[in-house]
Amino acid sequence: MPKATRKLFGSVFFYLLVIAIFIYLMFPFYWALISALKPESELIRTPATFFPEQITLINFEAVLSNPRFLRSILNSVIVASLATLLSLLVGSFAGFALGKMRFRGRTPTMYAILAMTMFPQVAVLSGLFAVITVLQLPVMMSLVLSYLIFTLPFTVWVMTSFFRGLPVDLLQAAQVDGASFMQTFWHVLLPLTAPALVTTGLLAFIGAWNEYLFALTFTATQPQHQTVPVAIASLSGQFAMQEPVGEIMAGALIVTVPLVILVLIFQGRIVEGLTAGAVKG
């Protein structure tokens, strides 16, 4: 085979592979979309149609007029935002201390934080549940606090490495100028680490938005506080006879859109945050 032909075959094969990967990644969304757009009669038809014959928005209307679903979006936004802000606030203090200051016990603390990032949440489930019941904490608040279990160690870990990467001269210059630690922190370091805060915050938010174990357990008796994952999983249970597949798919797409937008805007940052620590540059 001449070299040019071989090269052509090579690149055709390459693009076929790229297209195959793309279809593999995207197909479930396509299926969810066409299922959400099909009317009930077409949804239950066998065999399923691969392209919708009729398009309707009735499933979207139904799920968007479901008060429990709408409430769950609000709950999720509140819980995920608060958990993110709280862990950024508390975690950047700790990250600064670990990344830029010298003190005894620094290394063991680092190891403890690293170990915490691998912590299985289910290990504390019954203990947290008992604490919440005894203290009678409101559900939303207990969700925010319990989400810190995974957002906080992660934030501390990432912020530590970002702070460490900052030049020491800046810090010293500020100290020579007579600035206190707090002043240095707020006026010099925090503005410089804003990009890191955005990255960490995004990952913490996505983690909290997706969380299911705590949300399912702590809202078991109080459905009005359900977050999105719990509400969408229980859509199927609301009507005994027929599973409202169209509505579930419509709801699935609605709650995925914000994430897709975040991913589109912050793609580079998310990848950076995900791979931080995993790859030694």
- Give, for 55, the enclosing helix (H) or strand (E): none
Count Cβ atoms within 10 A of the Cβ of residue 135 and give its class: 0-12 exposed, 13-18 middle, 19 or more buried: exposed
Hunting for tokens 């680490």 — which residue is that? 193
d(CA 190, CA 192): 5
Q: What is the closest distance, in whole angstroms, from the C-beta atom of residue 94 to another protein in the complex?
A: 4
User: Crossing angle of helices 3-37/245-275, nearest 10°?
Assistant: 130
Handedness of CA 123, 128, 130, 133 (dihedral sign): negative
Contact range with another protein by CB under 8 A, out of 1-9, 60-68, 105-113, 187-195: 105-113
Residue 51 contacts another protein per CB under 8 A: no
Structural element, H or E, at residue 223 = none
CA distance 130 to 204: 25
Contact range with another protein by CB under 8 A, out of 53-61, 66-74, 140-148, 165-173: 140-148
Applying CB under 8 A, the site for another protein has a residue count of 98
Residue among 29, 56, 77, 179 that touches another protein (CB under 8 A)? 29
**Position 17 contacts another protein (CB under 8 A):** yes
- Segment contacting another protein (CB under 8 A): 52-60, 67-75, 77-85, 99-107? 99-107
70 binding another protein? (CB under 8 A): no
- The least distance separating another protein from the CB of residue 67, rounded to whole angstroms, comes to 20
Q: Which of 129, 137, 179, 190 binds another protein (CB under 8 A)?
A: 129
> Would you say 58 or 262 has its CB closer to another protein?
262
Instruction: For the CB of residue 262, give the shortest distance to another protein in the complex, in Å.
Output: 7
Is residue 47 near another protein by the rule CB under 8 A? yes
**140: which 2 tokens?**
């939303």
Residues 122, 74, 248: CA angle, nearest 5 degrees: 75
Both tokens assigned to 128: 């947290």
Least distance (Å) from another protein to the CB of residue 61?
19
| CB of 75 vs another protein, minimal distance in Å | 14
75 C-beta neighbours (distance < 10 Å), count: 22
The 152-181 site mask, x for binding another protein (CB under 8 A), equals xx--x------------------------x
Report CA-CA distances (Å) from 119 to 69, 111, 149, 153: 31, 13, 8, 9
Q: Is residue 94 within the footprint of another protein (CB under 8 A)?
A: yes
CB of 180 to another protein, least distance (A): 9
**Which residues in the 190-249 window bind another protein by CB under 8 A?**
206, 209-210, 212-213, 216-217, 220, 228-230, 232-233, 236, 245, 248-249
Looking at 133, 172, 183, 242, which residue binds another protein (CB under 8 A)?
133
Which residue carries 């960490």 as its tokens?
200
CB nearer to another protein: pick between 58 and 276: 276
DSSP 19: H
- Residue 248 CA, chain-centre distance (Å), reads 20
Q: Measured from the CB atom, is 4 or 25 closer to another protein?
A: 25
Taking the C-alpha atoms of residue 66 and residue 31, their distance in angstroms, rounded to an integer, is 23
